[in-house]
Structure 1
Amino acid sequence: MRSEKGFTVSLLTSYFSPFIFPAVHPLDPILRPKSIAVIGASRQPNTIGWMILDNLLRCGFCGPVYPVNPKAAAVHSIPAYPSVRAIGKPVDLGMIAVPKEHVVQVARECVEAGVKGLVVISAGFKEVGGEGVERERALVEVVRGAGIRMVGPNCMGVINTEPGVEMNATFAPSMPPVGPVAFMSQSGAMGFSVLDYAESLNIGISMFVSAGNKADLSGNDFISYWRDNPHTRVVLLYLENFGNPGRFVELARDITPHKPFCVVKSGRTGAGIRAAASHTGALAGTELATDAIIAQAGAIRAQTVEEMFDYAMAFANQPLPEGNRVAIVTNAGGPGIILADACEASGLVVAALSPETQLLLRTKLPEEASVGNPVDLIASAMVPSYEYALNCVFQDPNVDAAIAAFVPPLGVQAKDIAEAIVRVNARYPNKTLLAVLMGRQGLPAGMAELQKANVPGYIFPESAARALGAMWRQRQRRERPPGTVRAFKTGDAAVERILDATLAAGRSKLSEPDALRLLEAYG
């Protein structure tokens, strides 16, 4: 069993997983199903119905899989069924990958057969407008009338790497490594690309959901589910719209004291808002409102997907810092200065090293080295100097975390420096350590060493500083007592009159006098 700083799952937890996390949640038939029917399973390679069935079998799903294809006796050498009702056995999850015209009828058949949850891959619904809007309304009516839950439509499926489930019910090319990060993406294609990127960073995934149009289940439902999921320690969302912002804030405020929760919200510009509307039928909203919602929720907003995974890499692999005092150890002045600026900008404090620590550093480092903070080992620094300096700063009671930055000089390989950083990381399991390996020389080998030992590695100093700043904010959030959201009494009739008059006048925005009257109605 590896260090708790990593994201491995113990064999004991895996064995007892069904007992410590019993299947009682309404989303379990979708995220932890015991059996799956693939409706639209195809014998034609590289079609969606073929790939979903292939992934379920190849990635080792732990329950029975039933292909449904009225024109085939077998698919992937497994007996096929002409309909869901013909299966005659309990089915938890129905994966629907049929032409859009047949989806609603197939959903009805699933309900009649007792299927407990649906994932609708098929597109051609709200996102295309016109008849698609009515088609989606009819689909939701079927699902909600039966009291079951649905992911999609217009999505790419779901993944659960949990031992005992091991479900890849998508057409993603590979199963991500097991880990503590749950990720929901409103865009399926974006989700697949990000899964590939996460794997390149050695970030393990607990669950992945491609939400699509969010006609039934939305990000709010998955936030609630992952709040108590023992295999999930970090929650990531890529959103094009919030759906129900009030509910989002309520659920996020419940999860953020316990688990880091990071959001990328697209549709920030006029062009992005228009693109979101045509992609998943999403109304993206304004940036000011988005920032307010995320701040009130206590979540962390990342401006880019890359930034979100910079944060995820740190959260998944290192303990939260006890404080915001950071030591910087580098072999070049420039990166040290950039790190100092970036740390301050991220809410961190460049620690004042104690006189004792500075004396220890001076006894072993070259005369030209700077023993303040940043600790500049100078370009000729070799591996022993790096390791010694990191040991010294971590022994200083004024230091809560450290960032080690390396620019490859002649004679020293990034891999060797990475190995030294890894050794220090193992000696101080309760300290937060991030690394920056700059330049292309030896970078892949150095990053590989860091990833194997669960030390977050970054290419640029600013990325590491922002990630550490996010960790410090999460620490503060965890220790801050929960606040209360003030409830306002409202004169409902007055509010209705103001809004009705605005709409009757053909306006979509309130005038300043009307806005003031609206605020007055809310007290």
Structure 2
Amino acid sequence: MSDGQTPTTGATPTTGATSTATGPEVHVEVADVPVAPKHWAADVLLRDGRTAHIRPIGPDDAELLVEFYSRVSDRSKYYRFFSPMPRLSDKDVFRFTHVDHRDRVAFVLMLQQQMIAVGRYDLIRPGEAEVAFLVEDQHQGRGIAQVLLEHLAQAGRERKVDRFIAEVLPDNTRMIQTFRDAGYKVVSEYEDGVIQLEFPIDATDTAIGVMQAREHRAEAASIERFFHPRSVAIIGASRRQDTIGQTLVRNLVMGDFTGRVYAVNPTGSAVSGLPAFSNVVDIPDDVDLAVVAVPADAVQDVVLDCAAKGVHGLVVISSGFAETGEEGRARQRRLVGLSRSYGLRLIGPNCLGIINTQSEVSINASLSQVMPPRGRAGFFCQSGALGSAILEKVQNRGLGLSTFVSAGNRADVSGNDLLQYWEEDEATEVVMMYLESIGNPRKFSRIARRVSQRKPVVAVRSGRTTQGVPMGHAVRKIAAPPAAVDAMFRQAGIIQVDNLEEMFDVAQLVAHQPLPRGRRVAIVGNSDALGLLAADAAAAVGLVVNKSVSLGAEADASDFEDALDAAIDDPDVDSVIAVYIPPLNVSGDEVANVLAAIGEQSDKPLVSSFLGVEGVPELLRVPDVAGTAAGRGSVPSYPAVEAAVRALARVVEYSVWLRTPEGSPAEDDSVDVIGARTLVADRLRGASGTVELSQEDVATLLSAYGIETSPSVPVTSVGEAIKAGVDLGWDVVLKATAEHLRERPDLAHVWRNIDGAHMMRDAWATLTQVVGDPSRAGFVVQRTAAPGVPISIRSIEDPLFGPVVSFGISGPLTELLEDRSYRIPPLTGRDASTMVREVRSAPLLFGYRGADVVDIREVERLIQRVAQLQHDLPQVSTLELGLILAGPDGATVLAAEGRLEPGPAARSDWFVRRLGQQAGDTLPS
């Protein structure tokens, strides 16, 4: 396998196809060559942060396989086959390269157009397959076998394989450990000098956790190499002033980069006093990072040169890619594909660059002449033009950054990669993100939720209303409503703000002050008017003003000190807002010293509106350990008290989220997932488009998840209605369910408590007069349900966003006012509880105007069950429980409908590591 040692397998079944072989090239004559699923191919990250490409093996790989095998050591071959096997016979080559992608599956790992590893499984009995790997010796120790095992296990699950078996020699200890480290429950037996390992390949929480931990380490490692290079080559360096190449060289040198800088210029002339080389391969020393500023059509040649030199990563400043149109998009696809195929990660193209302010690196590999002060915040943005403005704003506010990335078209490295890095980066305590698009929302949500548990993540998302995607971003628009995306941010603990100014307002607070414990605030100031404004603003954003102290215009520093100390010592106060407007001819320095001293010592956050200054003014700063930017305890100032209160409220919401137990997704042994999947597969068999589920199918599907629906009998005549009433035992309702009549406040389309044939005839006659043609009304008969508040629960499968669940009170006003809450499955108990309470009409469920309080636990259970169903069954495109009556003793589901769409039974990013494809793929990294 990986890490130096490979397991063996028993005899591999041969294919029934015939062939003729001459040397390494095998010529095959087959009527139909099996085709592997397209989603089995993927770019992947290895343990060291470099990329490779995994794909199913094919008949055309015969020569590559022979060349690969010739480079493998005799020891590795022996571990694989348990005997000396110096070369592969033509029969072996044919057998290994011709698989059916069903009972015999094999993946190869490609790097620089060479095969460097092979992993395969062969079915030996229904549900059980033998698995084996072979990794080229020079690439062992890079985590390759783990990647192959993940992808083989996922392919096996798709092919109804339940268990893997592997035979390993006893001294192949690293291989044995590799299987055990995969997160599966491994059982081993020893017989005839061979250890046989057996393990189920179910995607257990443990196995998924192991996979995600490896993903995290690999992605963090790939970014760490960008921020800590020992040497940088500027490819496209220029002697001419006011050029991009000259700017890059100057910024690197003037930024006091601690490593070596090399200029690459076709003429080989010196640039800014640096010796220049005509090609990166001519540089005599190692090169870790290449910053590329050459014409777009020359970038691909640069990639090949950098790969030959062993460069780790590229920062492509050059424009002329996807932002220019279809031709540029094709050029960008080729660039990313080429970079990854040669093991390189890429930031850009069309980007501003990267910055690391840590003194041991101090790299400004960007077009920005502003080197921000060292600080605690990491910043990710996509727009290059906006990046320059952001850096100037950071400097003016005295905030300070640890690292900065402008990703441009975000063709490869994305915000997800930066989150993986910043999670472990000790120099970064706050994450700021300006997002113009989200390539893989599910992965983003998963990583951000984990990072938010440790560090505040403050984000601005452009295009929130239009869900638009900028030119150059090869991702699809999110079809889910904007409220669903906002809910995903809240669910992940992200502090989402409306604009860049508010982002900096919040960031300077979480970077310098402790988190509040609750919503209770004290206001201390020398202006009654500003104190009232602060109190009004606090009430508007859900803060509770427990103390308001007006010191008067003549208050001095000692008055402020006494009042602030008293407010901070008050157990009923969680945060303090200080307002200071100095009298005429007073500098305010003494008050500033008081604020700075108290802010440094307080365990409660202190924010200020001090002299109308924005940022962290010099007077309110606590010196950082490095002596550069403001340190912990510095007091942020806001030009308007409303901005201070708004920033504090955002941080309070984050603090509440952080302190609220998350719980875990609901699990119920009574849920029949297998039965539900079987029903979905049966209904989709042979379907080429949308499948509308019948009422019976919807009821069966919901029943598999513990949701019972009230029987509903469609009727088209009064006779059928009477028969339905008899069959249901009377006390029924007759209602019209057609789309054009549903939830119409101006039409009475329901007749309740029908208890006999005569009443049914009256109901039929009356309703047909109201709704018109009965054949278009969609009449149904149901048992009368207990009274309650009408609610609805919906779920959808967004092609990009994944599963989304929503909740609201049923009715046209809810729809008009968009009063619905949204969450992304899987849901915890906290998620379901919050969903119920955050809709504006929630008081109707909690005894509004003396009404009974409904069974909230049952409502939350229904939400969680629908969420679990949508999470488990991606082929369910929509599911709507359109009318549920929630009462004090339970809830009755009166109307439900659903649709299916053909597609994979599992989301491709669930159980395997993969970098997203470019060219419009829906799941970029």
- Fold shared by both chains (TM-score > 0.5): yes
Worse overlay, 482-491 or 342-351: 482-491
Q: Corresponding residue for 1:345?
A: 540
Q: 1:297 aligns with which of 476, 486, 492?
A: 492
> Does 2:354 correspond to 1:158?
yes
The 8 Å contact of residues 577 and 608 in structure 2, kept in 1 or not, is answered as yes
> Does 2:396 correspond to 1:200?
yes
Superposition deviation, residue 114 in structure 1: 1.0
CA distance in 1, matches of 2:446, 2:251: 36
The 8 Å contact of residues 324 and 400 in structure 1, kept in 2 or not, is answered as yes
Q: Corresponding residue for 1:51?
A: 247
Question: 3-state DSSP class of the match of 1:374?
Answer: strand
Unaligned runs of 5+ in 1: 1-20, 352-372, 503-508
> Does 2:604 correspond to 1:434?
no
Report the CA distance shift for 1:498/1:377 in structure 2 as closer, same or farther (over 3 A).
farther
- After TM superposition, list the pairs within 5 Å mapping 1:381-420 onto structure 2: 381-420=555-594
Report the CA distance shift for 1:467/1:449 in structure 2 as closer, same or farther (over 3 A).
same
CA distance in 2, matches of 1:144, 1:333: 62
Superposition deviation, residue 378 in structure 1: 2.2
Report the CA distance shift for 1:292/1:445 in structure 2 as closer, same or farther (over 3 A).
closer
CA distance in 2, matches of 1:44, 1:330: 56
Q: 1:319 aligns with which of 514, 526, 530?
A: 514
Report the CA distance shift for 1:382/1:44 in structure 2 as closer, same or farther (over 3 A).
same
Q: 2:599 aligns with which of 425, 431, 436?
A: 425
Report the CA distance shift for 1:461/1:496 in structure 2 as closer, same or farther (over 3 A).
farther
What is the identity, as a one-letter code, of the residue corresponding to 2:587? Q
Superposition deviation, residue 284 in structure 1: 5.5
Q: Corresponding residue for 1:7?
A: none
Q: Corresponding residue for 1:111?
A: 307
Q: Deviations over 1:220-248 (max 9, x none)?
A: 11011100110000001001111000000
Aligned alpha-carbon RMSD (Å): 3.1
CA distance in 2, matches of 1:290, 1:497: 34
CA distance in 1, matches of 2:682, 2:242: 57
What is the identity, as a one-letter code, of the residue corresponding to 1:220? N
Worse overlay, 384-393 or 88-97: 384-393
CA distance in 2, matches of 1:496, 1:145: 37
What is the identity, as a one-letter code, of the residue corresponding to 2:319? A
Superposition deviation, residue 416 in structure 1: 3.7
Question: 3-state DSSP class of the match of 2:368?
Answer: coil
Superposition deviation, residue 187 in structure 1: 0.8
Report the CA distance shift for 1:493/1:412 in structure 2 as closer, same or farther (over 3 A).
farther
Q: Corresponding residue for 1:250?
A: 446
Superposition deviation, residue 376 in structure 1: 1.1
Superposition deviation, residue 33 in structure 1: 1.1
Superposition deviation, residue 407 in structure 1: 2.7
- After TM superposition, list the pairs within 5 Å mapping 1:203-352 onto structure 2: 203-270=399-466, 273=468, 276-278=469-471, 280=473, 285=478, 287-351=482-546
Report the CA distance shift for 1:58/1:22 in structure 2 as closer, same or farther (over 3 A).
farther
The 8 Å contact of residues 100 and 122 in structure 1, kept in 2 or not, is answered as yes
Q: 2:287 aligns with which of 46, 69, 91?
A: 91
Question: 3-state DSSP class of the match of 1:277?
Answer: coil
CA distance in 2, matches of 1:101, 1:153: 12
CA distance in 2, matches of 1:336, 1:496: 67
> Does 2:663 correspond to 1:473?
no
Q: Corresponding residue for 1:73?
A: 269
Q: Corresponding residue for 2:617?
A: 447
Q: Which fold has the larger relative contact order, with Cα–Cα distance below 8 Å and residues 6 or more apart in sequence?
A: 1
Question: 3-state DSSP class of the match of 2:489?
Answer: helix
Equivalent pairs counted in the alignment come to 468
What is the identity, as a one-letter code, of the residue corresponding to 2:248? I
CA distance in 2, matches of 1:466, 1:499: 51
CA distance in 2, matches of 1:334, 1:498: 68
Report the CA distance shift for 1:24/1:475 in structure 2 as closer, same or farther (over 3 A).
closer
The 8 Å contact of residues 450 and 456 in structure 1, kept in 2 or not, is answered as yes
Q: Deviations over 1:80-115 (max 9, x none)?
A: 111111113211111111001101111121112211
Structure having the larger proportion of residues in helix: 1
Superposition deviation, residue 169 in structure 1: 0.2
Q: Corresponding residue for 2:918?
A: none
Report the CA distance shift for 1:497/1:334 in structure 2 as closer, same or farther (over 3 A).
farther
What is the identity, as a one-letter code, of the residue corresponding to 1:154? N
Structure having the larger proportion of residues in strand: 2
The 8 Å contact of residues 517 and 574 in structure 2, kept in 1 or not, is answered as yes
Unaligned runs of 5+ in 2: 1-216, 624-633, 668-672, 692-797, 800-875, 881-896, 906-925
The 8 Å contact of residues 160 and 166 in structure 1, kept in 2 or not, is answered as yes
Report the CA distance shift for 1:386/1:42 in structure 2 as closer, same or farther (over 3 A).
same
CA distance in 2, matches of 1:499, 1:61: 58
Q: 1:64 aligns with which of 260, 263, 271?
A: 260
The 8 Å contact of residues 36 and 63 in structure 1, kept in 2 or not, is answered as yes
The 8 Å contact of residues 56 and 169 in structure 1, kept in 2 or not, is answered as yes
CA distance in 2, matches of 1:117, 1:499: 43
CA distance in 2, matches of 1:42, 1:493: 65
Q: Deviations over 1:174-195 (max 9, x none)?
A: 2110111000011122122111
What is the identity, as a one-letter code, of the residue corresponding to 2:607? L
CA distance in 2, matches of 1:135, 1:121: 15
Higher CA-based Rg: 2
Report the CA distance shift for 1:168/1:332 in structure 2 as closer, same or farther (over 3 A).
same
Superposition deviation, residue 334 in structure 1: 2.1
Q: Deviations over 1:349-390 (max 9, x none)?
A: 212xxxxxxxxxxxxxxxxxxxxx211112232333222211
CA distance in 2, matches of 1:307, 1:97: 34
Q: Corresponding residue for 1:380?
A: 554
CA distance in 1, matches of 2:682, 2:287: 49
Report the CA distance shift for 1:22/1:218 in structure 2 as closer, same or farther (over 3 A).
closer
Q: Corresponding residue for 2:636?
A: 456
CA distance in 2, matches of 1:498, 1:304: 46
CA distance in 1, matches of 2:615, 2:329: 51
The 8 Å contact of residues 416 and 446 in structure 1, kept in 2 or not, is answered as no
CA distance in 2, matches of 1:258, 1:444: 27
What is the identity, as a one-letter code, of the residue corresponding to 2:441? P
CA distance in 1, matches of 2:428, 2:556: 39
Report percent identity of matched pairs.
39
Q: Deviations over 1:43-96 (max 9, x none)?
A: 111211111111111111111111110113211111111111111321111111
Q: TM-score, normalised by structure 2?
A: 0.48
